[in-house]
C-alpha cells in the first residue's frame, strides 16, 4: 500500500476527550472515528488490526472443533421472554419496534438465539457435543461508555455456545474453551490471567474472566504475585486429550475479580497478594440448563430419556482487544504492534520523494517485498522526513526500512525494529534479507 493513496488521517493533537493511552493512540493513528457515544467507525488501519485479531480468534476456535455460524444482530423479543431475561436485562438492552409493532432488540448476547437454533434441529445425544460460535456486533446501552472502543456501546464479540448431554461433558467443553483462550491470547502477544469471576446477567455457577493487567483497567483484581511472572504458556495442546491438568495448572494459584475476593478466605498472605487492575478481554460461563430448560432444548440419551441440554457460553471482546493490546504495548512515540496483529509487516520510508535515487530504490524494494509476500506500507508522500518518521512510529509497524539521500550516497538504508528501537545501516539486499529472517 502506498501511503499517498491510503486513508490514514493521523493527528499530532492529543485528543482531549481520551482519558487512556490506547484511546488517544487509536484516534491519533486514524484507526477509529467516533459516531456517537460508545459507537465508532473503523477506518482502514483500525479495521485491518480488528480483522487480524478476529482471524486469530477464529483459527483457535476452529482448532477446538467449534463451528462458525452467523446470527442476526436484531432478535425478536419473544425469545427473551421465553428465557425470562427480557425484563431482567433492563436499560442496557436496546429495544426496537418494527413497522408491525413487533418488539425486537439489538442483541447484547445470543444465548436465546442459539438455543432456538439448537432446539429446532437437535433431538438426540448423537449430535453432541456441539459448539457453535459467531463473530458478530453486539449492542449494550452501557451507563458509562468510555475509553473509546474498550467500553463501547456497539462492540465486536466472539461468542461461542456449547451443548452437552450432561455435566461431565459440559465440563470437557468448558475446559476446551479455557485452554483455547490461553492459546489465543498468547498468539495475540498478551498475558491474560484466568480469574474466577461473577456470572452477572449471563448466569450460571462457574465462570472465569481472562484479564490482562493494566493500571488503566476497569476491573479491580486480586491475584497471587507469582502470576506476574507467569507466561501462561499452555504448550502444545491436543484437544482430544484430558485438558483438566492444564486447567488445574492455571487455576490453582489464586486469581479472582473483586466481587469474588474475600481477604478472610483467600488464603494468600498479604505480602504475596497483588492488588491491581486489569482489562477483561474474555469471559467464559457454565450455566447448565438455565436457557435450555425454559426454552425446551432437550436431547434424548441412549436409553430414550429426554432432558434439557447442558450449556456454556464463551465470549472474547474482539474490538476491546485492539485497545487492550495497545495498553499492553506502546511507548511515548506510539503503538508497538505485536507481529501477529500488525496492520502491515513492514514500512518503507522514502525520506525524499523528489530524489530520483531514493525513489528508484524505494520503489524497487517495495515491489520486491510485496513479491516475497509481505504486506508493505510505502511512505511515498512529499512530506517532511521528520513527519514521516513520526507517523511510522505512531502507527507501530514492527519493522521500518528508511531510505534517505545521505545513506543512498553509499548504498545504505536504515533497518529499524520498532519495539527495541534498534537501528542498523545496511545495504538494500541485506535489509530485504533481514525482513526474510523475521518470518
Ligand atoms: N454471552 C457471554 C459469553 S459469549 C457474554 O456476553 N459474556 S460477556 O458479557 O462477558 O462479554 C464477553 C466479552 O465481551 C467480555 O469479556 C468483554 O471482553 C467484551 N465486552 C463486554 N462488554 C463490552 C463493551 N461494552 N465494550 C467492549 N467490549 C465488551
Per-residue confidence band for 203, with pLDDT thresholds at 50, 70 and 90: confident
**Cβ–Cβ under 8 Å, residues 170 and 286:** yes
Q: Give, for ligand 1, the residue of 320, 321, 325, 327 to mutate: max count of ligand atoms closer than 8 Å to Cβ.
A: 320
The answer on pLDDT for 342 being more than 90 is yes
The answer on pLDDT for 216 being more than 90 is no
Report CA(339)–ligand 1 centroid distance (Å).
25
pTM for the model stands at 0.97
Q: Which pLDDT value is given to residue 157?
A: 98
Per-residue confidence band for 17, with pLDDT thresholds at 50, 70 and 90: confident
Tens-digit pLDDT profile for residues 149-189:
999 999 999 999 999 999 999 999 999 999 999 999 999 99
Per-residue confidence band for 202, with pLDDT thresholds at 50, 70 and 90: confident
CATH class of 3-335: alpha beta
Report CA(157)–ligand 1 centroid distance (Å).
7
Is the distance from the beta carbon of residue 202 to the nearest atom of ligand 1 less than 6 Å?
yes
Is the distance from the beta carbon of residue 162 to the nearest atom of ligand 1 less than 6 Å?
no
Tell me how far CA of residue 373 lies from CA of 120, 138, 376, 379, 439, in angstroms. Answer: 45, 35, 9, 18, 11
Per-residue confidence band for 215, with pLDDT thresholds at 50, 70 and 90: confident
Report CA(384)–ligand 1 centroid distance (Å).
43
Q: Which pLDDT value is given to residue 170?
A: 97
Question: In this structure, which residue's CA is closest to atom 14 in ligand 1?
Answer: 317
Q: Which pLDDT value is given to residue 93?
A: 97
Cα gap 47→138, rounded to integer Å: 17
The answer on pLDDT for 14 being more than 90 is no
Point out the ligand 1 atom lying closest to the alpha carbon of residue 210.
Answer: 16
**Cβ–Cβ under 8 Å, residues 44 and 10:** no
Q: Give, for ligand 1, the residue of 54, 157, 324 to mutate: max count of ligand atoms closer than 8 Å to Cβ.
A: 157
Is the distance from the beta carbon of residue 85 to the nearest atom of ligand 1 less than 6 Å?
no
Is the distance from the beta carbon of residue 154 to the nearest atom of ligand 1 less than 6 Å?
no
Per-residue confidence band for 398, with pLDDT thresholds at 50, 70 and 90: very high
Burial code (b: 16+ CB inside 10 Å, e: under 16) for 254-281 equals: bbbbeebbeeeebebeeeebbebebbbb
Q: Which pLDDT value is given to residue 205?
A: 81
The answer on pLDDT for 28 being more than 90 is yes
Tens-digit pLDDT profile for residues 96-105:
999 999 999 9
Report the DSSP pairing between strands 67-68 and 219-224. Answer: unpaired
Is the distance from the beta carbon of residue 112 to the nearest atom of ligand 1 less than 6 Å?
no
Question: In this structure, which residue's CA is closest to atom 10 in ligand 1?
Answer: 283
Question: In this structure, which residue's CA is closest to atom 16 in ligand 1?
Answer: 282
Point out the ligand 1 atom lying closest to the alpha carbon of residue 209.
Answer: 16
Report CA(37)–ligand 1 centroid distance (Å).
18
Question: In this structure, which residue's CA is closest to atom 19 in ligand 1?
Answer: 317
Of all residues in the chain, the percent with pLDDT exceeding 70 is: 100
Report CA(254)–ligand 1 centroid distance (Å).
23
Is the distance from the beta carbon of residue 283 to the nearest atom of ligand 1 less than 6 Å?
yes
- Indicate where the chain has its CATH 3.30.930.10 domain(s): 3-335
Which fold, 346-436?
A: Rossmann fold (3.40.50)
Question: In this structure, which residue's CA is closest to atom 21 in ligand 1?
Answer: 317
CA 79, 83, 84, 86 torsion-angle sign:
negative
Q: Which of 72, 91, 206, 73 is nearest to 142 (CA)?
A: 91
Cα gap 170→287, rounded to integer Å: 9
Report CA(247)–ligand 1 centroid distance (Å).
22
User: 431: helix, coil or strand?
Assistant: helix
Is the distance from the beta carbon of residue 317 to the nearest atom of ligand 1 less than 6 Å?
yes
Amino acid at each position: 500500500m502506498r501511503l499517498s493513496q491510503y486513508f490514514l488521517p493521523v493527528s499530532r493533537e492529543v485528543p482531549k476527550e481520551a482519558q487512556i493511552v490506547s484511546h488517544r493512540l487509536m484516534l491519533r493513528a486514524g484507526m477509529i472515528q467516533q459516531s456517537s457515544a460508545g459507537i465508532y467507525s473503523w477506518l482502514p488501519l483500525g479495521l485491518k488490526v480488528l480483522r487480524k485479531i478476529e482471524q486469530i480468534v477464529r483459527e483457535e476456535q476452529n482448532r477446538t472443533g467449534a463451528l462458525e455460524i452467523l446470527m442476526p444482530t436484531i432478535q425478536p423479543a419473544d425469545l427473551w421472554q421465553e428465557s425470562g431475561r427480557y425484563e431482567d436485562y433492563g436499560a442496557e438492552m436496546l429495544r426496537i419496534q418494527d413497522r408491525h409493532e413487533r418488539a425486537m432488540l439489538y442483541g447484547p448476547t445470543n444465548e436465546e438465539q442459539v438455543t432456538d437454533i439448537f432446539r429446532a434441529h437437535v433431538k438426540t445425544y448423537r449430535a453432541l457435543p456441539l459448539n457453535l460460535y459467531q463473530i458478530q456486533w453486539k449492542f449494550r446501552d452501557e451507563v458509562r461508555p468510555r475509553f473509546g472502543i474498550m467500553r463501547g456501546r456497539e462492540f465486536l464479540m466472539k461468542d461461542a455456545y456449547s451443548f452437552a448431554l450432561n455435566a461431565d461433558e459440559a465440563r470437557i467443553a468448558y475446559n476446551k474453551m479455557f485452554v483455547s483462550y490461553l492459546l489465543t491470547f498468547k498468539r495475540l502477544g498478551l498475558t491474560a490471567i484466568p480469574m474466577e469471576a461473577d456470572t452477572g446477567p449471563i448466569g450460571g455457577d462457574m465462570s472465569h474472566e481472562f484479564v490482562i493487567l493494566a493500571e488503566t483497567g476497569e476491573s479491580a483484581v486480586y491475584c497471587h504475585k507469582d502470576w506476574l511472572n507467569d507466561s501462561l504458556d499452555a504448550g502444545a495442546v491436543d484437544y482430544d486429550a484430558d485438558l483438566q491438568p492444564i486447567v488445574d495448572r492455571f487455576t490453582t494459584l489464586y486469581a479472582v475479580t473483586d466481587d469474588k475476593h474475600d481477604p478472610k478466605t483467600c488464603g494468600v498472605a498479604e505480602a504475596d497478594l497483588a492488588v491491581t487492575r486489569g482489562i477483561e478481554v474474555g469471559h467464559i460461563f457454565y450455566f447448565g440448563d438455565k436457557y435450555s430448560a425454559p426454552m425446551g432444548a432437550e436431547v434424548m440419551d441412549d436409553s430414550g430419556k429426554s432432558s434439557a441440554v447442558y450449556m456454556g457460553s464463551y465470549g472474547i471482546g474482539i474490538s476491546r482487544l485492539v485497545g487492550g493490546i495497545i495498553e499492553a504495548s506502546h511507548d511515548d512515540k506510539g503503538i508497538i504492534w505485536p507481529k501477529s496483529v500488525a496492520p502491515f509487516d513492514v514500512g518503507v520510508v522514502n525520506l525524499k520523494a523528489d530524489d530520483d535515487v531514493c525513489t528508484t530504490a524505494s520503489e524497487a524494494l517495495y515491489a520486491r517485498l510485496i513479491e516475497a509476500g509481505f504486506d508493505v506500507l510505502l511512505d511515498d508522500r512529499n512530506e517532511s522526513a521528520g513527519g514521516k518518521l513520526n507517523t511510522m512510529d505512531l502507527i507501530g509497524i514492527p519493522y521500518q526500512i528508511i531510505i534517505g539521500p545521505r545513506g543512498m550516497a553509499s548504498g545504505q538504508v536504515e533497518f529499524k525494529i520498532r519495539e527495541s528501537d534498534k537501528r542498523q545501516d545496511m545495504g538494500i539486499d541485506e535489509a530485504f534479507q533481514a525482513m526474510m529472517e523475521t518470518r
